Structure 1
Amino acid sequence: MGDPTYSPPDPAELPEPVTPAGREGLAALLAHPERAVVALDFDGTLAPIVPDPEQARAHPDAVPALAALAPRVRSVAVVTGRPAGVAVRYGGFAGVPGLDRLVVLGHYGAERWDAVTGTVRAAAPHPGVAAVRAELPGFLDAIGAWRGTWIEEKGRAVAVHTRRAQDPEAAFEALREPLAELADRHGLIVEPGRLVLELRPPGMDKGVALAAYLREVGAESVLYAGDDLGDLPAFGAVEKLRSDGVAGLLVCSGSAEVKELAGRADLVVDGPPGVVRLLSSIAAQLA
């Protein structure tokens, strides 16, 4: 449930992208919303980052903002490394009026939840994930990295968090190479994030998932918002699509922890509250 005092912002509050390509992307979305896809990361974009990932929940006004915007565009897609069902549950997306065209691409596109059916479709899991899952606790203990680290079970991937360590950044950097070697032995790759290293199968990332979905629905413009290193492939996909004639707006959900996206973004907003305000402003502009 959103804040009962919440009301959509004045359309005049719509921020202006700082780049010509971003301004073109926003203009295309506003001119022909029925041809546009709004795609968003979950953690750090729709949901604030919290010490325990299992406690992450969408910003209280995220669902009202999405429900106001979704009927006016071709589709809204949540693109996340989380299992699709988990993102749906933590986001509160199921059964919401106005979100019948919402799609969640989970595990970087290996899973897909469609609001219209309420079901998840998934590819077969990679055997290396089960092997790493079994080996990882002893592996961290053997290299002296158990204290302060935390393993997150993600179904088709497994992640090691360092946010609770005495020196989170130092622990993160110290684990990069050992975890990369462990992942490689089992045919996996390591995806770095905000004080987290995720071991997952190769061949899928947010850019691949996003590009495939945009082709599927025939989008002519796209807004993509993200906050983390894992969103760089999606940024790259939108940049490539721009050269192919698809208008795009890249939004960085700002963070002091990850600055790489801001330099490539057309628009930087103040974390999930800023993303919610942007979505609400676009919906108000289209009303």
Structure 2
Amino acid sequence: MLRVVQDFLGLTRPMQDADGIACFTVNTAAGRIALNEILQNIRRTILLVDLDGSFWDPVRWPKRPLIVCQIPRLFSRLGRHRLFMMAYLTGRASEQLRSFGMLVRGVVAWCQFGAERWQDGKQVDLVPVPPGLEAAKSELDGTPYSVERKTHAVAVHWTAADVDSAVELLLTQQQTLADQHLLAYHPGNLVVELSPLGMSKKVSAACFARQFLPAEVIEGFVREFTPVEQGVYEQIWASLEASGTKFVPSLQSPYFIFVGDSAPDMGVFLLLDYLRGLGIPVLKVAVKGNNPYKPLEDLADIVVDGPAGALQFVRELELHTAPWWLRFLRRSLGHAA
């Protein structure tokens, strides 16, 4: 009888693009299958997200992002009560996220592209600071752009209003700077980041996924890395083991969702494509913004419209995992609960 009432009220419907219930469409058959699996097995789902450009608009001055105040509470609720894990994979430093109120209970933060990891108040540096970083930072003194100096990386920000030719010149200069000081070069959404050589979201995501899967599963993906990337991968994993991080080496039937918006996130999409090829349900969500990265959108299962669309996607994810009576209340109150 209870099931009949739920069906009548529409409380057991999957996510859909109808009646204002959701702000997205699942574009791929594999994505629809994965989403159905995820909603039925939510407590084995791992939600990994990018932050800048995905959940708030990128800004020229990185200390002043406009973060919707409900985001930290929503993410913490997902990590503590709904999902197996809620995690960030971001270029931000952990201290920056702390100042924004984004380091919350129930969330694991992989920061500076995975150079540092934060969980439950404990931060661990996973790779050494690159020796050429300080010299690269000093050469950025006097630049007209906004320079974000971090422990393991440096980023330069601009705005969508800046002249395209000036941005192209900036990118060329940063590529040269990276080559001179043996740093990795990562152009993103209104930002270019210089980080340890071999460090990328692709490498960090592989280490992240290895926490939940047998090592041999991830090794097939890692074999395609360059020797430098493999060295960073091994360094990160060794640091995780030395830090006493608790692993779940073989989580039964794990499910992965990733939300990202720019070129550095492509590496995570490649990992999810690899896992999908092994029969693991994954969902790739691309965020369309002021500076959309078309290859990411073309490979995504779901494309949402800007940070507001990404936030709505996560709200819908939580809404569909809550008890039926809470889903009814939240829909009635417009998700205000």
Picking from 192, 195, 206, the partner of 1:211 is 206
Deviations 1:230-252 (A, max 9, x none): 11111111111111222111111
TM-score normalised per structure 2: 0.72
* Separation in structure 2 between the aligned mates of residue 158 and residue 281 of structure 1, nearest angstrom: 35
- 2:35 aligned with 1:56: no
Deviations 1:109-130 (A, max 9, x none): 1100003xx1210032111111
State the SS of the aligned residue for 2:320.
helix
Deviation at 1:57, TM superposition (A): 4.5
8 Å Cα contact 2:160/2:190 also seen in 1:
no
Deviation at 1:204, TM superposition (A): 1.9
- Other-structure match for 1:5: none
State the SS of the aligned residue for 1:286.
coil
Deviations 1:70-120 (A, max 9, x none): 2221101110011123224324333xxxx42x10000111100003xx121
Picking from 152, 160, 168, the partner of 2:148 is 152
* Separation in structure 1 between the aligned mates of residue 84 and residue 101 of structure 2, nearest angstrom: 20
Give matches, 1:115-194, under 5 Å. 115=120, 118-122=121-125, 123-137=127-141, 146=143, 148-163=144-159, 166-167=162-163, 169-194=164-189
Q: Quick one: percent identity of the two aligned structures?
A: 30
- 2:226 aligned with 1:223: no
- Other-structure match for 2:304: 269
Picking from 183, 190, 195, the partner of 2:190 is 195
Segments of structure 1 that go 5 or more residues without pairing to the other structure are 1-9
After superposition, the Cα gap between the structure-2 partners of 1:92 and 1:162, relative to the gap in structure 1 and judged at 3 Å, is closer
* Separation in structure 1 between the aligned mates of residue 298 and residue 90 of structure 2, nearest angstrom: 22
State the SS of the aligned residue for 2:60.
coil
State the SS of the aligned residue for 2:132.
helix
State the SS of the aligned residue for 1:67.
helix
State the SS of the aligned residue for 2:37.
helix
Deviation at 1:35, TM superposition (A): 1.7
- 2:320 aligned with 1:285: yes
8 Å Cα contact 1:194/1:258 also seen in 2:
yes
Picking from 100, 112, 116, the partner of 1:111 is 116
**RMSD after superposition:** 2.1
8 Å Cα contact 1:249/1:266 also seen in 2:
yes
* Separation in structure 1 between the aligned mates of residue 52 and residue 286 of structure 2, nearest angstrom: 13
After superposition, the Cα gap between the structure-2 partners of 1:275 and 1:164, relative to the gap in structure 1 and judged at 3 Å, is closer
Computing the radius of gyration from Cα coordinates, the structure with the larger value is 2
After superposition, the Cα gap between the structure-2 partners of 1:266 and 1:110, relative to the gap in structure 1 and judged at 3 Å, is same
- Other-structure match for 2:75: 66
Deviation at 1:163, TM superposition (A): 2.2
* Separation in structure 2 between the aligned mates of residue 193 and residue 104 of structure 1, nearest angstrom: 19
Segments of structure 2 that go 5 or more residues without pairing to the other structure are 1-10, 16-20, 214-250, 323-337
Give matches, 1:3-82, under 5 Å. 13-14=21-22, 15-70=24-79, 71-82=81-92
8 Å Cα contact 1:43/1:49 also seen in 2:
yes
* Separation in structure 1 between the aligned mates of residue 26 and residue 101 of structure 2, nearest angstrom: 27
* Separation in structure 2 between the aligned mates of residue 282 and residue 226 of structure 1, nearest angstrom: 16
* Separation in structure 2 between the aligned mates of residue 234 and residue 91 of structure 1, nearest angstrom: 25
TM-score normalised per structure 1: 0.84
* Separation in structure 2 between the aligned mates of residue 164 and residue 271 of structure 1, nearest angstrom: 14
State the SS of the aligned residue for 1:224.
strand
Structure with larger RCO (C-alpha < 8 A, sep 6+):
1
